Structure 1
Amino acid sequence: MAVELETGLPSVHQFQSLIREKQAIELKLITNDVVIGTLRWQDPHCLCIDSNEGQTLILWRHAIAYLKLL
């Protein structure tokens, strides 16, 4: 059974806006690593980030401590 993205959630709407606007963000992970870049896509479990260092990263949602707009 596939897990679907809950499009009614405010966080999903916010992420979709960030993707559409290509807004720069800072993500701090629970490991204390910091990733700066733009969101590329989201699914129910992960976010894809194009980092400022030229890498495309797939991050598990549960690994994110916070997201900050830049």
Structure 2
Amino acid sequence: MIFPLEELIEYDGNMYEITSAASRRSYQLSMLKDPDIEDNDGKVVSLAARQVFTDQIDFHLED
């Protein structure tokens, strides 16, 4: 799976929150040079989105 389109379509939460979480996670993965990036054909954003949508990572927005 390159990008979790089905999860995106079915998502009924705050779209800003999940977009922000995926964006921040993408940055983290690229800075850490995570080996999972290579397994995902170098696609950092889709890897981060998959991690967010499948609850592999927890996230919350701070006030």
Q: TM-score, normalised by structure 1?
A: 0.30
Task: Answer 1 or 2: which has greater strand percent.
Answer: 1
With CA pairs under 8 Å and 6+ residues apart, which has the higher RCO, 1 or 2? 2
Q: TM-score, normalised by structure 2?
A: 0.32
Task: Answer 1 or 2: which has greater helix percent.
Answer: 2
